[in-house]
């Protein structure tokens, strides 16, 4: 079986290692490719699922929204989020879902972060941002989106964020600070220090510049792992009895 990740720039990705490690744990004979493509190649690669050249894909920046128009079925979770990160073939149709949502919920639970009744400031407005927003809202958080160009009442600018005296939960869903641009941060040090907790969903580097500004911060490696676990459950149509916490500890040491 063949699976893969569709994206634009994938040299930083740990997805191949994670998925192939998980296949080994499950004793599944499968491979996982990092597939760097341009937007005009999306339809070609969706057709490869129809032709059974691939059995499933993950999707990352910048195609989580644009890929949706090439799919036959988009499940309710992905529709509500407005982005797809997992694609699979079932009953003759190409389906899209969003496992980022499940990965982020697991990350919150793993680090014992409860959004209930708290202001949650989400940096960025892309596909991953929408999955995190839905997770926070479903867990009772009051989501406030942060953007360079605010477009609605539940969205503020970075300048407005900087003026606030304290911040409860901050989630960075932008690529700012991701390898190779590791000397960048979406927030300055003074603003970041105001947060009770920061989740930066970047996983490479392990500790972003943003995270270095606040000692109560977590990266996105747990989210990456658990969205991958959920994607494989869907692709293989089976849930496996595996201690993913044990693997997560090993994963953190390996990368």
Which positions are catalytic?
A: 64
Determine the longest span between alpha carbons in the chain, in angstroms. Answer: 56
Number of Cβ within 10 Å of residue 48's Cβ equals: 15
Q: What is the distance in angstroms between the CA of the first residue and the CA of the last residue of the chain?
A: 26
**Nearest alpha-carbon partner for 209 in 200, 196, 197:** 200
Tokens of 112: 């014992």
- Give me the half-sphere count of Cα atoms (radius 13 Å) on the Cβ side of residue 187: 33
- Give the rounded distance of the alpha carbon of 172 from its chain centre: 11
Tokens of 113: 């972060």
Tokens of 214: 């606040």
How far is Cα 105 from Cα 128, in angstroms, rounded to an integer? 13
**Nearest alpha-carbon partner for 61 in 108, 143, 131, 156:** 131
CA distances from 231 to 94, 125, 204, 224, 246 (A): 14, 23, 21, 11, 19
How far is Cα 148 from Cα 160, in angstroms, rounded to an integer? 10
């Amino acid at each position: 079986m063949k699976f893969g990740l569709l994206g634009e720039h994938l040299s930083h990705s740990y997805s191949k290692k994670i998925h192939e490690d998980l296949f080994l744990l499950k004793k599944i004979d499968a491979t996982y490719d990092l597939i760097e493509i341009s937007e005009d190649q999306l339809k070609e690669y969706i057709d490869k699922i129809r032709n059974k050249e691939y059995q499933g894909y993950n999707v990352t920046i910048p195609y989580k929204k644009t890929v949706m128009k090439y799919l036959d079925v988009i499940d309710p979770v992905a529709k509500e989020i407005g982005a797809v990160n997992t694609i699979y073939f079932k009953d003759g149709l190409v389906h899209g879902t969003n496992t980022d949502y499940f990965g982020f919920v697991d990350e919150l639970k793993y680090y014992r972060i409860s959004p209930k009744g708290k202001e949650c400031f989400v940096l960025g407005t892309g596909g991953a941002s929408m999955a995190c927003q839905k997770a926070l809202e479903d867990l009772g958080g009051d989501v406030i989106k942060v953007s360079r160009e605010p477009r609605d009442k539940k969205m503020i600018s970075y300048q407005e964020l900087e003026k606030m005296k304290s911040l409860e939960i901050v989630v960075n869903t932008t690529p700012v600070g991701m390898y190779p641009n590791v000397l960048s941060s979406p927030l300055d040090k003074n603003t970041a220090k105001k947060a009770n907790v920061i989740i930066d969903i970047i996983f490479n580097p392990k500790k972003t510049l943003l995270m270095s500004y606040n000692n109560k911060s977590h990266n996105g490696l747990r989210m990456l792992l658990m969205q991958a676990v959920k994607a494989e459950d869907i692709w293989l149509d089976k849930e496996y009895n595996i201690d993913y916490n044990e693997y997560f500890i090993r994963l953190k040491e390996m990368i």
